[in-house]
């Protein structure tokens, strides 16, 4: 067992403050430390150490400022290319009283690079190897949907130095790529249903704001691309977060916890609770009615991040969203993002 204190022999003229100052602490801090480690009868209460022969002192004392700095040093403070791994495996599950549970899985490839001469980054994103309940979807619409998305990959997003996605790097390239790739898709996916789907897909990706919001409102992007200042916070704060894709961000009150995940890892947990006065129906429909309500939405969101203490690399990210109405769960969504 490691001993983190020793007995100091009090010398003539020593006071609590004089001893403490040599240790980089205050007299009050030294008094509390000694009293925590000594027998009840040996406790000290005064600055003067007359008749006190020994006092317990810490071997490696750290001030609160030093402890806080060490805590900050183990967590990401700004975005860098080393924050992300090149490949993550993703599993998502959806639960609702209105539909059967759904479990999907896929792989994403990421490449983050600094945008030259600008205070921002470009994230190249590829999503592939899609499965539903462990199987590759074989129905026509699911297959076509995956093929359409695959045809415009990789997508490139602009991310500011704080970790927030601010736009698409080259929207025209996305639309031009699909128009070119569509010819090949039409040779395989024939019929009116397929044509209507591809028409809708092309129409949607031409709307840059709509396309960007499609990604930003997913639990995947909300979890995978955290704001870097989240890692440095200690007190609760307000943050707009999405509970459903294609809905609006809901103001939440966030509390943060930090745990040592292991010798080289640290776990940060964000616990969010809806604080905005809106209804669950508004969230489900994605439309704010701006009317007073006696039944505000009840919902929670939990975000967990495991990062490496030294290189600040994101090892794992998890999230859980729960939305309820009058005490009954109406929507649950869970995601687990792991390296490799």
CB-based contacts of 21: which residues, under 8 Å, 6+ apart? Answer: none
CA distance 95 to 332: 5
Separation of CA 16 from chain center = 45
Residues 309, 329: Cα–Cα separation, whole Å = 37
Q: Which domains does the chain have, with CATH numbers?
A: 5-61 (3.10.350), 74-339 (2.30.230)
- pLDDT higher at 282 or 61: 282
CA 130 to chain centre: 23
Residue 1 has pLDDT above 80, yes or no: no
**pLDDT tens digit sequence for 188-199:** 999 999 999 999
Take residue 276 and report the two structure tokens written for it. 């905005």
pTM of the predicted model as reported, rounded to 2 decimal places: 0.81
Higher pLDDT, 178 or 75: 178
Annotate 75-92 with b (16+ C-beta within 10 A) or e (fewer).
Answer: bbeebbeebbbeebebeb
Collapsing DSSP to helix, strand or coil, 232 comes out as: helix
| Res. 215 pLDDT band, cuts 50 70 90 | very high
């Amino acid at each position: 067992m490691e001993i983190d204190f020793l007995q100091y022999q009090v010398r003539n003229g020593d006071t609590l403050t004089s001893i403490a100052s040599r240790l980089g602490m205050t007299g009050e801090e030294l008094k509390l430390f000694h009293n925590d480690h000594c027998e009840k009868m040996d406790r000290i209460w005064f600055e003067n150490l007359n008749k006190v022969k020994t006092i317990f002192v810490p071997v490696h004392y750290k001030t609160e400022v030093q402890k806080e700095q060490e805590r900050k040093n183990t967590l990401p403070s700004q975005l860098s290319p080393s924050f992300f791994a090149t490949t993550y495996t993703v599993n998502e599950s959806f639960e609702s009283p209105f539909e059967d549970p759904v479990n999907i899985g896929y792989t994403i490839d990421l490449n983050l690079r600094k945008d030259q001469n600008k205070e921002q980054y470009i994230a190249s994103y590829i999503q592939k190897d899609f499965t539903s309940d462990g199987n590759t979807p074989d129905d026509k619409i699911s297959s076509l949907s995956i093929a359409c998305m695959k045809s415009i990959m990789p997508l490139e997003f602009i991310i500011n130095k704080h970790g927030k996605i601010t736009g698409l790097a080259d929207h025209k390239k996305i639309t031009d790529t699909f128009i070119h790739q569509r010819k090949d898709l039409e040779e395989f996916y024939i019929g009116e249903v397929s044509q209507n789907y591809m028409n809708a897909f092309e129409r949607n990706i031409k709307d840059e704001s709509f396309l960007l919001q499609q990604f930003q409102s997913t639990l995947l992007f909300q979890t995978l691309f955290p704001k870097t200042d989240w890692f440095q916070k200690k007190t609760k704060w307000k943050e707009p977060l999405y509970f459903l894709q294609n809905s609006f961000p809901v103001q939440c009150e966030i509390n943060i916890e930090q745990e040592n995940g292991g010798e080289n890892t640290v776990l940060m947990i964000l616990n969010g609770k809806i604080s905005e006065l809106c209804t669950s129906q508004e969230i489900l429909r994605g439309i704010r009615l701006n009317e007073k309500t006696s039944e505000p939405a009840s919902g929670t969101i939990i975000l967990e991040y495991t990062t490496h203490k030294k290189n600040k690399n994101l090892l794992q990210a998890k999230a859980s969203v729960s939305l309820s109405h009058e005490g009954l769960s109406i929507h649950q969504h869970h995601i687990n993002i792991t390296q490799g």
